[in-house]
Copies of this chain bind each other. A is one copy, B any other.
Amino acid sequence: MVTLAHCQALDARDPLAFLHASFAKPQEDTIYLDGNSVGAMPADAPDRVHALLTQGWRDARRRGWSYFDWLEKPWLLGQALSHLLGARPHDVIFSDNTSVNLFKLLAYAWKINPQRPVIVSERYNFPTDIYIAQGLAHFLDGQAQLRLIDHPDELSAALGPDVGVVYLSHVDYRSSYRWPMRQTSQAVNACGALVFWDLSHAAGAIPVELQADGADFAVGCGYKYLCGGPGAPAWLYVHPHHQEKDWPVIAGWMGHEDIFAFAPNYAPSAGVRRHLTGSPSILANQAMSAAADLWKQVKPADLGWKHQSLSELLVDLLRERCAHLGVTVTSPLDYAQRGGHLTFRHPGAGSVTEALLALGVVSSFRKPDSIRFGLSPLYLSHADIWTAVDRLVQVLETKVWKEPRFAKVSV
């Protein structure tokens, strides 16, 4: 049996424990297992944002664009994250939101080989990803076509000489199934297509190796495991081989080769920066910079150890303590096939999630019967996992819950 003492022993050798104090504690002390939706706030984010508002907006106003690093933030933030993605520092930028980045890179990827019109994806991919692909196909009136598979096993059968792009979420937002990036990229490239990964449920939770594992394109959300704040800018990556194949579809001022020239004609910047659009959100990037300074201190191997340790601990605890109470782990049991969160089933999942919340454990419910625990290695300890499962046992045994304590607030 796993004991609390065992969890505490793991915490004693946690290489990322020094980061826990860098995150703000909520007014109600909670165990926050929903970083797959919105990550916790770095403690100094409010001070950084306040400094920007006063020294930047209030005092410098327009002059802030030249006196501060506002225009450089998109790649400074990308650099701060790049080592956790297995990308060169200048191959990642922050820009827009995930949907817009999905659109920009899917359009760009498709146009590299428009004579191979098919985009392959999963029917049960995150709806945003599917909608963006359906929208592009609709806009292009059949010049681009979407082919959806129902299961990862069907990928090889869906590949063929008409496929230009394979467009997948690295980690499934429901089951946490993680595609094997290297083997998949190789199989896709071998058939002459490009592979485009959405890493929203991976980046910041597990280290990845985009360049070594053959990812052609990737995007990810900024506000989940990356802790950039609600609605934070998203990131995008383009493999060096593809960075200068074409113009970006949204040929924005910030992606021009010389943004201060006010040149009459568009000319794309070198590298991945051409996918910048218009003015970045300076406030949102400032909040993100608080997290970026934490990522810089995280070694990929430490992130990998910590996440695997938390995730395997959770599986062990759920199987030991909750199986007889009706809990079934539905995420893959092989750790290499799991992403940031862990999903399990219980017939009363909706009310269990509410009851956990009343006990200070924040998780997320997915209809009809699934609960997800998001496992951020930056601010969770092994003891947190032990306590969360302990409270889950209480709930499953006694069914205690109460209403959430926040009231809806208007503008």
Contact = CB atoms under 8 A, between A and B. Distances in A.
Contacts of A107: 139
Interface string A94-135: 001111100100010001000000000001100110111011
A18 interface: no
How many monomers of this protein are in the complex?
Answer: 2
A249 interface: yes
Contact of A134 (B49, B63, B265): B265
A169 interface: no
A146 to B, nearest CB: 10
A197 to B, nearest CB: 17
Interface string A254-295: 101000001111100000000001111111110101001100
A408 B253 contact: no
Interface stretch (A32-40, A309-317, A332-340): A32-40
A57 B266 contact: no
Contacts of A135: 247-252, 266
A169 to B, nearest CB: 14
A230 B38 contact: no
Contacts of A248: 135
A53 B45 contact: yes
A380 B278 CA distance: 28
Nearest to A268: B135
Contacts of A251: 131-132, 134-136, 138
A139 B62 contact: no
Contact of A266 (B41, B53, B55, B134): B134
Given A131-B266, A134-B266, A230 B411 contact: no
A28 interface: yes
Given A34-B62, A409-B68, A256 B131 contact: yes
A167 interface: no
A362 B284 contact: no
Most B CB atoms within 10 A — which of A56, A130, A249, A293?
A: A249
Contact of A46 (B50, B59, B364): B50
A65 B41 contact: no
Given A123-B264, A130-B264, A57 B45 contact: yes
Given A45-B57, A411-B289, A230 B70 contact: yes
Contact of A65 (B124, B230, B293): B230
Interface in A1-56: 24-28, 32, 34, 37-41, 45-46, 49-50, 53-56
Contact of A277 (B56, B68, B99): B99
A30 to B, nearest CB: 8
Given A127-B264, A130-B265, A252-B128, A231 B281 contact: yes
A41 B61 CA distance: 8
A247 to B, nearest CB: 5
24 contacts: A24-B58, A26-B58, A38-B64, A39-B61, A49-B53, A56-B230, A57-B229, A57-B230, A64-B230, A68-B409, A76-B410, A77-B411, A96-B96, A96-B277, A97-B277, A98-B278, A100-B252, A123-B264, A127-B262, A127-B263, A128-B252, A230-B282, A231-B281, A281-B281
Interface of A: 24-28, 32, 34, 37-41, 45-46, 49-50, 53-65, 67-70, 73, 76-77, 80, 96-100, 103, 107, 111, 123-124, 127-128, 130-132, 134-136, 138-139, 221, 223, 229-234, 247-254, 256, 262-266, 277-285, 287, 289, 292-293, 362, 364, 404, 406-411
